[in-house]
Amino acid sequence: MALSIARANLKKSVLNNISLGPASGFMSKNLFSKLQKAPYSASVLENVDVLKDKPLAGIRVLDMSRVLAGPYCTMMLGDLGAEVIKIEHPVTGDDTRAWGPPFMGYVKDFTKASNPNNKLKPLYREEGESIYYLSVNRNKKSVTVNLKDKGGQQLIRELAAKSDIVVENYLPGKMSELGLGYEDLKKVNEKLVYASISGYGNSGPFSKKPGYDLMIEAEAGLMYITGERSGPPVKVGVAITDITTGMVSHSAILAALYNRVRTNKGQHVDASLMATQLSTLVTIAYSYINKNIEASRWGSQHATIVPYRNFETKTGPLTICCGNNGQFVSLVTSIGVENLAADERYKTNPLRIKNRESLDAAIQARFSELTREEALSMLENKGVPLAPVNNMEQTFAHPQIEARKLVSEINHPGIGPFKLISPAVQFSETPLTIDMPPPMLGQHTRTVLNDILGYSETKIDRLCQDGSITTFDYGF
């Protein structure tokens, strides 16, 4: 019943937005195109082929985020085909442009690229583009805007009126102070999906407190459960809370876009590092809130499965993941310690947990006699989930990465050939591609203001002179 009502509402929303014209047994190609585009996009790009283009072709994103969580989210939207306009500080740009080394050096001299009419003088970094910035900003256009300036604020409002999505990660309330909050931009575009990403969310006693990945890893439980049992809490090797928050925000935005199909209205999406981190604690969190079981660090081990951990060999570690009795028996018989399978202490997983130390010690003793290559060979095709613990060189030499083309290369006009990690998901009918390298600072300011807002060259130069924007001529 609920599904039928949802379908009826969707049909009603579509029909209310499109004049169907004469009744016909078949839908014309032109009508089908309108039917597909009109409910979806406030910015409709007329050259979108709804049957062939990427899933989000025709959707425009106004990206006022910086550092990692927001940019990761908008990069995913860009990979899906959205036009992403990255708003950057007119002098320094995204904070991560300075986060290095490593940097990718410039192949040209850009010391004179800044427009002489710029009142604000952009910072030139002779080191080049930072790897950190480059890693999460592909498929975007860079536009430099002074958000504290009245002219810059008006420019943002005009872009929002022609966009579908806004993403920002300022402290809650900051954008409203600038006249650029959800309620402000909703007045110029009620279809806008406005996503706010913050440390703690838009309400509550900590809402005005800045939040960084490392802080939330510590404060929301992840750091406490990460590390060796005998060691102190440690952070995860990448800024995983930022990344997962970017992913959660990305899926929430897509859901809000779909809801807009049914209602023809946008809404505010409120995402936070803390809420995301809490949700990813899964069984650890549920064990505490339901059974008051305090968590502990297990290193590479698993609290409720044995053997499930790293083991050292003569030539490096490997990971064993025995999730059932059959896998355990296959493991110990394949590596020549079949007596462990017959030992009453290890017959079931609960017994193996009870006798974890003696079992792990016996398995480790056997692996210590083998090289990693020998161990992998003995366990190949034996039904035992296992993997080598690879460094980066070994990871990127993995044959599956080559077979799935998980590394791409694109020519960046400022730094030359540049390798990127390909989109993690592919589509059978609308393949994803990396079409634009991460942009240089303000590379697209002039073209975006020309093409989308219809600003004249005279008006753009005046905004440069007023300190509302900065423009550049990189020669490409």
**Can 242 be counted among the known catalytic residues?**
yes
Domain spanning 306-394: CATH superfamily? formyl-coa transferase, domain 3 (3.30.1540.10)
Instruction: Report the predicted TM-score, pTM, of the whole model to 2 decimal places.
Output: 0.88
- The CATH number of the domain covering residues in 58-280+409-464: 3.40.50.10540
* Amino acid residing at 8: A
Q: Where along the chain do its domains lie?
A: 58-280+409-464, 306-394
Beta strands 267-272 and 83-88 are unpaired
Burial 405-414 (b: 16+ CB within 10 A, else e): eeeeeeebeb
**Cβ-proximal residues to 181 (8 Å cutoff; 6+ apart), any chain:** 173, 175
Q: Determine the 3-state secondary structure of 406 from DSSP.
A: coil
- Find residue 269's DSSP bridge partners: 195
pLDDT digits (tens, 9 = 90+) for 366-424: 999 999 999 999 999 999 999 999 999 999 999 999 999 999 999 999 999 999 999 99
pLDDT in tens, 261-296: 999 999 999 999 999 999 999 999 999 999 999 999
What pLDDT does 44 receive? 58
Which is catalytic among the residues 79, 94, 213, 242? 242
Which amino acid type is present at position 238? V
Q: Are 118 and 471 in contact (CB under 8 A)?
A: yes
Q: Which amino acid is at 258?
A: Y
Q: For residue 179, count other CB atoms closer than 10 A to its CB.
A: 15
Report whether the peptide linkage leading into residue 102 is cis, meaning its omega lies within 30 degrees of zero: yes
Of the candidates 185, 168, 191, which has an alpha carbon nearest to the alpha carbon of residue 270? 168
Q: Which residues pair with 270 in a beta bridge?
A: 196
Report, as ranges of residue numbers, the positions in the chain whose pLDDT lies below 70.
Answer: 1-47, 50-51
Give the whole-angstrom CA distance, residue 102 versus residue 99: 8
